[in-house]
Amino acid sequence: MPHATAPGRDLRSRHWFGADGRSGMLYRSWMRNQGFADDVFDGRPVVGIAVSGSELAPCNAHLSRIAESVKRGVWEAGGLPLEFPVMALGETVLRPTAMLYRNLLAMEAEELLRANPLDGVVLLSGCDKTTPGLLMAAASTDLPALMITGGPMLNGKFRGEDIGSGTHVWKFEAEVRAGRMSEADCAFAESCMSRSNGHCMTMGTASTMACMAEALGMQPPFGATWPAVDARRYAMAQHSGRRIVDLIREDVRPSSIMTREAFENAVRVNAAIGGSTNAVVHLLAIAGRLGVPLELDDFDRLARDVPTLLDLMPSGRFLMEDFCYAGGLPAVIAELGDLLHTGAATVTGGPIDAPARAGEAPCHDRRVIRPIDDPFKAAGTGTAVLRGNLAPSGAVVKQSAADERLLVHRGRARVFDSPEEYYAVAEDPDLDVDADTVLVLRNCGPSGYPGMPEVSNVPLPSRLLAQGVTDMVRVCDGRMSGTAYGTVVLHVAPEAAVGGPLALVRDGDEVGLDVPGRALTLHVDEGELERRRAAWTPPAPLADRGWVRLYCDTVLQADRGADLDFLVGSSGAEVPRESH
Ligand code: FES
Ligand code: MG
């Protein structure tokens, strides 16, 4: 037989397409209506291609073209490629937040992988939540899998200047509000930002998670950085189509790639690239699916000796296209050297530092990827994990996006129970805030504002903008876009909506932030907090049916990755019973 599987390996697809009698006929006959040649059911590996794209998810809209390249490779290697859609999550358009659906995508994809006659899968993702969602699904079925992200958009270009996805939206908004940019110029800039297929080209969550997929060993080298429109991304996809067939034949599973070592590498790489705070939540959730012990404090402990090497927006100057031409993630991995587990396994079959070993990971632009002995930001200045009586289960702050002068700060709280409550007064010239005020924004956590949206970096009150204030301390149980910046304490856990201490803060309370000391403190004595706690009543449920109800009833806090409690872990891929 021309496409025999490895000796002794009975592929799971044989339980469908290799079945005798009525069952086999049912499984094969309807597939034949697509015009496949007779011998595609000869026992060759069946490769699913999970496409998380649609016209409602613009960052992923081109993934079906990448799927075509994957198919070429699968056919060449003697496999049968079958493309299928999974939830497409468009970060910018979905309300109340795409994050509300990450776990639903993960659940949908997991069930599709298990229920269908697939021996392995190529996961095509791009926009923020699609990468973690698909990795969670792959982890929970543990079928051979490989990821290809869709790649970043070309650099934004506005009047000779590079502009970055998201980052410049916040910048331009502040410029317009401060009267330094006209509405007309801002409207023109809008057309200059998103110029090609692809996801955000800042080091936002999509670029971060693409790098995480590569650092975990699930995406081939350079996969995170080729621009979406670069021909080499399509060549990589074709190679990956060949490679997934090998992974199936060799029975290499995600659990043997996404190990504790791989997660330690990912956490360190995230520090080196100045990655999004959202990576914390997503990596915790993926690790939870695999049973890999990974804790919030690991993100601080493992990153403390890792400097930030990349000078990319939102913290720095450059964009993903520059990062690609400077050498891509393999150059960062080469620079980190022994700070990583260099022998960690990857989907290529080689170790994570294989490009470096082969001399294929030089840096071509030291402005973009800085050397480790002359980094962009010193070690220990990445995402810090804070604790204290205001965040007993932890909170995070992205130091590189913060104003250094605010990293140790004590100020009076001005509390808002929702972003809407804040926006209603943000333009008020008499708002009772000054530059030292700590804006406390609550009820934005996983169940309080279902999905824990990226609302924490509320823009500064107009009164302070008019005074020339550019940053202030904000404390919130929600998230912040990976493209955003500011001294914003995020992911405060437990969240206010479940009775976390954030719910007890009142206007005028003193809040202390001590990032070097890793502390977030509410300077109110315990007796008073007890009295407030006794008087606290939980908010009314946000939904009495449907997905939102299931989500709110079962979502874990941010320090556990905001997965649903019943989705943690893996169920494998076995489905012993017939469908007819
Ligand atoms: Fe899709 Fe940023 S909005 S990647
Ligand atoms: Mg985002």
Asked if residue 217 has pLDDT above 60, the reply is yes
Phi, then psi, of 436 in degrees rounded to 5: -90, -10
Mutational test site, ligand 1, from 54, 60, 128, max ligand atoms within 8 Å of CB: 128
The ligand 1 atom nearest the CA atom of 91: 3
Q: How confident is the model at residue 418 (pLDDT cuts 50, 70, 90)?
A: very high
ipTM value for the complex: 0.92
Residue given tokens 């497409």 in the structure block: 88
- pLDDT at position 17 over 60: yes
Rounded to the nearest angstrom, the distance between the alpha carbon of 175 and the centre of ligand 1 is: 22
pLDDT for 10: 84
What mean pLDDT is reported for the chain?
95
232-248: average pLDDT: 98
pLDDT score of 6? 44
Q: Do the bridges between strand 120-125 and strand 145-149 make them parallel or antiparallel, or are there none, so unpaired? A: parallel
pTM confidence score: 0.96
User: Can you tell me which atom of ligand 1 is nearest the CA of 126?
Assistant: 4
User: Is pLDDT of 162 > 70?
Assistant: yes
CA 246 to centroid of ligand 1, rounded, Å: 32
Residues in the ligand 1 pocket, defined by CB under 6 Å = 59, 91-92, 127-128, 165, 199-200, 204, 206
The pLDDT, as a whole number, for residue 174 is 84
Which one of the ligands is nearest to 200 CA? Answer: 1
pLDDT tens string 517-555: 999 999 999 999 999 999 999 999 999 999 999 999 999
Measure the CA–CA gap between 558 and 555, rounded to whole angstroms: 9
Q: Which ligand is nearest to the CA of 199?
A: 1
CB-based contacts of 366, cutoff 8 Å, min separation 6:
none
Of the pLDDT bands very low, low, confident and very high (cuts 50, 70, 90), residue 576 is: confident
Starting from the CA of residue 481, give the closest ligand: 2
pLDDT attached to residue 499: 97
Q: Give the tens place of pLDDT for each residue, 279-300.
A: 999 999 999 999 999 999 999 9
Using a pLDDT cut of 90, give the percent of the chain over it: 93
For the CA of 58, the closest atom of ligand 1 is: 1
Range 35-64 average pLDDT: 97
Bridge partners of residue 512, in order along the sequence: 410, 521
Q: 487-518 pLDDT, tens per residue?
A: 999 999 999 999 999 999 999 999 999 999 99
Tens digits of per-residue pLDDT, 431-452?
999 999 999 999 999 999 999 9
Q: Is residue 473 predicted with pLDDT exceeding 70?
A: yes
pLDDT of res. 3: 39
DSSP string, 320-375: HHHHHHHTHHHHHHHHHGGGS-TT-B-TTSSBTTHHHHTT----S-TTTB--TTS-
Q: What percent of the chain has pLDDT over 70?
A: 98
